[in-house]
Structure 1
C-alpha cells in the first residue's frame, strides 16, 4: 500500500510533513497543499491519518474554504475524507489477503483496524463492491 500512497501523493502534488507534536493527529492545509501529521502516532495510525488527509486533498483541495463555513459542510467533508480512507484500506486489504472473497469478514476488518462502528455500512458496501468485482473479472 505504501507505493499506492506514494503514487497518490505524487499525483496530487501534496507535501507530507511529520512533526514531533501537533494539536491533532493530522491536518490538510489546502492553501499550500500540505499534509502535516503528528509523528507520535503508531505506523498504522499514521497511515490511516495520511489516507484521511489525502482524501481531503483529493476531494476538497479547490473548495476547502467551505470547511469552516458551516457545520454541515465540515461534517460532510470529514465524512468524505473518512470514506476515502476506508476505501483505500479495504482495497489494500482485499488485494493482500490470501483467502477467497467469501471468507473475508468485514467486521473483523473493522475491529482489526480500530474503525468506528458507525462506518460499518460503508465498509460492508466496499467489501461487497470489491469482492464481487474481483470475482466477476
Structure 2
C-alpha cells in the first residue's frame, strides 16, 4: 500500500510543504486531521515522518502539551512498529533479523530507539 493510501485509510489527509516555508520534517494537526510533510525528504524519510505523525493520532493538544516526551516516544514507537512490520513481511527468515542494520537503515540513533526496536521486534514475532 502506498503511503498516501495508508494515510487516507487512517482518516487523515496528507499534504506536502516546501522546505523554505518551514524548517521541520513534518507535523500532524489534530484539529483538521492532516499531516504536513516536507517535500524535500526522500521517500524513506517521508515514510518515517508519516508513521511517526500517525502515532500522534490519539494525542490531544492538552496531552501533548503536558506530556511532550511521552507523546514523542509513543509516536516513535508507532513508527518503529510500522517499519518493522514492513521489514519482517519482506523477510524469509525473521529469526535472522539484525536490529543494528535496521536502525542504521532507518537512521535510528538513540538508546530509546534501540530498546523500542528490540521490544517491537519480539512483540511482532511472538
Q: Which runs of 5+ in 1 are unaligned?
A: none
Q: Which runs of 5+ in 2 are unaligned?
A: none
CA distance in 2, matches of 1:23, 1:38: 8
2:68 partner SS: helix
CA distance in 2, matches of 1:101, 1:117: 23
Superposed CA RMSD in Å reads 1.7
Distance apart, 1:27 and its partner CA? 0.5
Q: 5 Å matches for 1:45-64?
A: 45-57=45-57, 59-60=58-59, 63-64=60-61
Distance apart, 1:130 and its partner CA? 1.7
> Could you tell me whether the CA contact under 8 Å between 1:110 and 1:117 is conserved in 2?
no
The reply to whether residue 93 of structure 1 matches residue 90 of structure 2 is no
Distance apart, 1:20 and its partner CA? 1.3
The reply to whether residue 105 of structure 1 matches residue 80 of structure 2 is no
Q: 4+ residue runs of structure 1 moved beyond 6 angstroms?
A: none
Give the count of matched residue pairs.
Answer: 123
User: 2:63 corresponds to which residue?
Assistant: 66
Distance apart, 1:64 and its partner CA? 2.3
User: 2:119 corresponds to which residue?
Assistant: 125
Distance apart, 1:121 and its partner CA? 1.2
Largest Rg, 1 or 2: 1
TM-score, length of structure 1 as denominator length: 0.81
1:56 partner SS: coil
> Could you tell me whether the CA contact under 8 Å between 1:28 and 1:53 is conserved in 2?
yes
2:37 partner SS: strand
